[in-house]
Amino acid sequence: MNHAEAKKKVQHLRDKINKANDAYYQEAAPLMSDREYDRLLDELRSLEERFDLHSPDSPTRRIGGKPTKDFPTVQHPVPMLSLSNTYNSEELDDFDRRVHKLLGHDSYRYMTELKYDGMAIRLRYEYGRLVLGATRGDGIQGDDITANIRTIRDIPLNLSGNHPAVLEVRGEAYMELAAFAKMNNSRAEEGLSVFANPRNATAGTLKLQDPSIVARRPIRMFAYDLLIDDNNRERTQQEKLDMLEEIGLRVCEHRTLCSDIGEVHKVIASWATIRKDLSYETDGVVIKVNEERYREILGQTAKAPRWAIACKFEAEQAVSRIRDIALQVGRLGTITPVAELEPVSLAGTTVKRATLHNEEEIHRKDIRRGDQVMVEKAGEIIPQVVSVVRQNDPDRGKPFRMPETCPDCGAILVKLPGEVAWRCTNNQCPPQVRSRLEHFASRDAMDIDGLGQAVVDQLVSHQLVTTFPDLYRLKAEDLVSLERMGEKSAQNLIAGIERSTQKPYEKVLYALGIRFVGITVARDLANAFPTIEELMAADEASLCEVDSIGPRIAGSVRSFFDNPDNRGMVEELISFGLRFRADKEPAESDTLSGRSFVLTGTLPTLTRSEAKELIEQHGGKVTSSVSKKTDYVLAGDEAGSKHSKAEKLGIRIIDEPSFFKMIK
């Protein structure tokens, strides 16, 4: 493939991936599987690096970059003001009367939009290209978080359609409720502190210094305002929202144009109930004068515009009594305290249990058995105890103490350094076994249809299954005696287990349930170590050379495979035909056949994973340490001891340009 052919292929891949992104994130209608998407992205990345066809707007540039030491401060050319709030109809009518008095007529309309409970952000586009993303800060100046903003896939790096040369967008970054709950559950399992609500999780994430971490968190965005310096005062809010959609930004479909304040009241009343069915948090309705020409007349206070107001919903809370504090054992042995409540109606459901997160959270709020507590749904889906109602009551129960042993199996509980969670030390603790099996069979892992919680409970209770390999020993006749498991269902389950043996290597790695190894990390491990033998032999230093892996993950992986029981389990799974080897593309050439490489330092354009992939595509081999058998050391900036050792041994040291010459 020559340079011209590569350029044409790269553009084709970018168009195809961008189209897939639009379908997935804008229309919620995926065009391809995750595996196919990742394959196209890897192909594009390889061609860009090989033929030096980089572009800041490429889909490959949306995964973040190196951490920065600090966020620069940027001035907002137009202040990012907050909104005045109201909680009742009388105050809303007062707002309407003020608007009428200032304008001197009633020839205006109101646009109502949902008020998102997230983090306000500012975007700047110049000639269609995203050049800045910033926080609201104090309204006059904020933090430049462009590197983090670029990882949010709802935000286009390049605008589509007709648009002004320069424009600014105001929007709200947020997390959907289900994604937030999944992220919090994962953090709790890992012994990490959990976020109180989606808003805090979003704000905390966007202020992280490492964009690659931001890219892995489920942040989305709605745009709600458009600023264009063209002196067009005839534009309306409705037209601006339509224009935002046309140029490729997401806007909320739940907006209504109202002829008067009476219609606004009806909209608010309807959303007080409907909002509970949304996939994200909203804490009210924003009411704006639709006509932009009137906004300058209405003006603003020091903090808020006079042409807009937010009518906020009251947080739905209820008082209940804690009957008991139960302890749940998770997949990794994490002990999670849960409040057993007297049943109470909350947000349309009957709540009987509420998470207490961990022992530190219980002590911080001083929650005790028998307390009357205020309960609310964090993000409308996760019941949690907010506070104790009468904390000074002299008849309260004793302060909570975490037991020294597991409530299910009696094993000793431990708290690891740097964690807030206690853990059960017995890997065979029944709740842990059940949770591991459910994780193994989940859709993102082995995707075994029919192996849900109820079936797993019975398999463990009847001692039919205690380890992953036990699943592959099952026969239909073992299952027919289980509750609600007829002969046909048993055969279907066995067939589903058999089909799972064809799942790709990265899915199997994720299914093993290694601590801190999520879907993305499992895929990166599979790419970096194409066989399970290579992965099990890798030391922590080699593991840390993989882009998404730091010392914590590397230590966890190493600890998992240092356990003889885990290594034995992997050997058994291999014997049952599970795939512990990556599907490799045919080598592009044998230019580097028989040659051994060691990578060190930071290369100008290639990541280590990409360099390793290129070496292998051309027939070479990458090892982790320098020895007399090493042919080349590919070195970048800040090369360390491997560079020095290569010099002592007289091994040839090459830089990235020299490497490209070799494979071209």
The residues assigned a catalytic role are: 115
Give which of 443, 439, 481, 486 is closest to 462, Cα–Cα: 481
- Pick the closest to residue 197 from 290, 305, 116 (CA basis): 116
If DSSP codes are grouped into helix, strand and coil, which group holds residue 470? helix
State the distance between the two ends of the chain, measured CA to CA, in whole angstroms: 10
Is 510 in contact with 522 (CB distance < 8 Å)?
yes
Residue 176's contacts (CB-CB under 8 Å, 6 or more residues apart) are: 198, 218, 220, 279, 280
Contact yes or no for 331/513 (Cβ under 8 A): yes
Could you give phi then psi for residue 641, rounded to 5 degrees?
A: -65, -30
- The structure tokens listed for 663 are 């494979």
Distance, CA of 135 to CA of 206 (rounded, Å): 9
Tokens 């006059």 label which residue?
A: 140
524: CB partners within 8 A, 6+ apart: 546, 547, 548, 549, 609
Please check whether residue 180 is in contact with residue 218, taking contact to mean a CB–CB distance below 8 angstroms.
yes
Q: Round to whole Å and give the CA distance between 507 and 522.
A: 7
Rg (CA), the chain: 29
Measured CA to CA in angstroms, residue 191 lies from 203, 414, 537 at distances of: 21, 11, 27
**The dihedral formed by the CA atoms of 364, 369, 374 and 375, expressed in degrees to the nearest 10:** 100
DSSP secondary-structure letter at 25?
I
Distance CA 136, CA 203 (A): 11
Strands 85-86 and 166-175, sheet pairing: unpaired
Which of the 8 DSSP states describes residue 585? P
Q: Classify residue 624 by burial, with Cβ atoms within 10 Å: 0-12, 13-18, 19+.
A: middle
Kindly report the backbone phi and psi dihedral angles of residue 255, in degrees, each rounded to the nearest multiple of 5, phi listed first. Answer: -140, 145
| Alpha helix stretches (DSSP H) within 305-382 | 359-365
The tokens describing 553, both together, are 């993950």
Sequence-ordered alpha helix ranges (H) in 170-312: 177-189, 198-206, 211-215, 237-246, 261-274, 295-298
For residues 243-274, one letter each, b for 16 or more C-beta atoms within 10 angstroms of the residue's C-beta and e for the rest, the string is bbeebbbbbbebbbebeebeebbebbeebeee
How is residue 439 written in tokens? 């994780």
Q: Which long-range contacts link 97-103 to residues 24+ away (Cβ below 8 Å)?
A: 98/306, 99/289, 99/298, 99/306, 99/307, 102/297, 102/298, 102/299, 102/306, 103/294, 103/297, 103/298
